[in-house]
Amino acid sequence: MTKQKLEIVLAGPRGFCAGVDRAILIVEEALKKFGAPVYVRHEIVHNRYVVESLENKGAIFVDELDECPTDRPVVFSAHGVPKSVPEAAEKRQMIYLDATCPLVSKVHRGAERHFEKGRHIILIGHAGHPEVIGTMGQLNDGAMTLVETVEDVEKLDFPEDQELAYATQTTLSVDETKDILEALQAKFPQLQGPKREDICYATTNRQAAMKAVAEDVDLAFIIGAPNSSNSKRLVDVAKQAGDIPAYLIQRVSEIDWSWLDGIDKLGISAGASAPEILVEEVIEACREKFDLTVFHKVTAEENIEFKLPRLLKD
């Protein structure tokens, strides 16, 4: 029986970014240095395959610090944590390693500088996301106001003499954030911002690559977790840029193969916390079912690396 022809167009860049690479390596190196178990507060990155792989090596994932014994090291996730978390670890005299992405830490430091200058910070982000909780937890309660939409901006009310600044979650939709920021700047001309864009290079690059792919395919798969902000934004980008169906899947087992009935070209990308092995898994499953050709569409090259904490170098 003749197989249906299918072209896969792989978006590049895709998958792991430098911050995710660093966070996973911190857990792995901590296991080598201290032995198992090493505790990790929250998912180190939003991907079950990664979490389960680290669990198999001896990592124990917990929701809160008080679930960790004081005689074992604990790692804080790549999304960042409120200041109260390392303070509590120090109070308990724990060994801790902060795997916060350096680009998230940059947002934290920027917010602190604006606060020191007397500015109220408007944070563009998604309520309840660990990164937003961590960023808002860098300052006193009430020092930041969170907005998620242009409609939220319209509801804001500050005194005319209030000095204001903004910051953003690093994994947002570039286009949606642009609209929110334009609304903020129109309403508050005195608004100060970061010297450089808060949305990280990896998020920006993956969205640009997905836009380029979406214009040339009939359907898209984004490999990533349902709680991964940057992965969900890639789905949105694919739908908007290509006017095509787009599905977020964690593993090949979640594919409904009827989605591919009559499809000639399939675009594939992966969120910044999804390992390449999951992309390969999908490609191989497609190869079994279709007469497959694979193309690459690369819109940027990435060679960024972040240093490990000093404790792991000693």
- The catalytic residue positions are 131
Distances (CA, A) of 44 to 27, 81, 151, 308: 8, 12, 33, 15
Q: Which of 186, 196, 137, 135 is nearest to 164 (CA)?
A: 186
| Token reading at 19 | 């911050």
Instruction: Decide: 260 and 266 in contact? Cβ < 8 Å.
Output: yes
d(CA 273, CA 46): 6
Q: What residue type is 143 in one-letter code? A: A
Q: How many CB atoms lie within 10 A of CB 143?
A: 16
List all residues 6 or more positions away from 292 whose beta carbon is below 8 Å from its beta carbon.
Answer: 6, 7, 8, 283, 286
